Amino acid sequence: MTNEGEPIIVLDHISKSFASKPVLQDVSLTVAAGEALCILGRSGTGKSVTLKLMIALLLPDRGLIRIAGENITKLDGEQLSHVRRKIGFLFQSAALFDSVTVYDNLALPLHRLTAKSKKEIDESVDFVLNEVGLISDKNKMPVELSGGMKKRAGLARALVLEPEILLVDEPSSGLDRITASEIDDLLLEQKTKRKTTMVIVTHDARGARRIGDRFAVLDQGCLLALGRADELDYHGNAIVQKLFEES
């Protein structure tokens, strides 16, 4: 495991295009172990693509990506799977399996990727569901959950393998302000109690301020700014100023 303060995520001169349209252009950044980096920007600026590159759901056209010291742009098969087990991913839509219960959504990765017994799996699932306030809902189907509950269940599934790194795509999307704040509380608790490294893509600068240690601002695929909130509050770029005025 990477020591606290050392980069656990490194993006080195990353570029990515789709159908000759640039989405990311020469983006470089690092995330230290235990740090929360929030990526902000307008829609279509490459924020979610950045997350997918970090877990090798997409590969860059140029540049390299290191996760816990491993250059994932050169890995495949079991080597890539080994690195991915260090990472939890909370999708914007929660991406639960609709045909099984909340419990089974969490138990499935434990069955497939660990040697835990049925009793140990039950204990792990119950522990994480209790953490997100869904222990009484574990036998429900996803269709029975509200939007906020689905997001909590998605977060629980992302955490059930006890990842070193948590990637989060738009945690407040589609949620009212109170429910979004509750999701922010859960992420903040994960950071402070578990020291989990987090990269959070969000349009919600106010929520980001509560969780983030540093902030990256993307626009048209370029990294406009990277730093602490007190540094970006007085940044000279108008887009950066606008984003932080909204918080």
The 10s digit of each residue's pLDDT in 204-223 is 888 888 899 999 999 989 99
What percent of the chain is modeled with pLDDT above 90?
62
Kindly state the tokens that stand for 63. Answer: 């540049």
pLDDT over 80 at 245, yes or no: no
Displacement of CA 112 from its chain's centroid (Å): 22
Does 53 fall in a domain? no
Does 135 fall in a domain? yes
Rounded to whole angstroms, the Cα distance separating 175 from 145 reads 13
pLDDT over 80 at 112, yes or no: yes
Going by pLDDT thresholds of 50, 70 and 90, the confidence category of residue 16 is very high
Rounded to whole angstroms, the Cα distance separating 48 from 167 reads 10
Does 241 fall in a domain? no
How many CA atoms lie less than 13 Å away from 237 in the CB half-sphere? 16
Does 6 fall in a domain? no
Does 192 fall in a domain? no
Count of the separate structural domains present in the chain: 1
Q: What confidence score (pLDDT) does residue 94 get?
A: 76
Q: What confidence score (pLDDT) does residue 200 get?
A: 96
Beta partners for 14?
A: 27
Residue 235 burial (C-beta neighbours within 10 Å; 0-12, 13-18, 19+): middle
Kindly state the tokens that stand for 150. Answer: 């689905």
pLDDT over 80 at 1, yes or no: no
Rounded to whole angstroms, the Cα distance separating 17 from 202 reads 21
Between the CA of residue 93 and those of 30, 116, 170, 202, what are the distances in Å? 26, 28, 9, 13
What's the whole-number mean pLDDT along residues 116-130?
A: 94
Does 146 fall in a domain? yes
Does 220 fall in a domain? no
Kindly state the tokens that stand for 140. Answer: 């429900």
pLDDT over 80 at 3, yes or no: no
Q: Which domain holds residue 108?
A: 95-162
Does 120 fall in a domain? yes
Q: What confidence score (pLDDT) does residue 4 get?
A: 52
Lowest mean pLDDT among 36-40, 68-72, 146-150, 174-178: 174-178
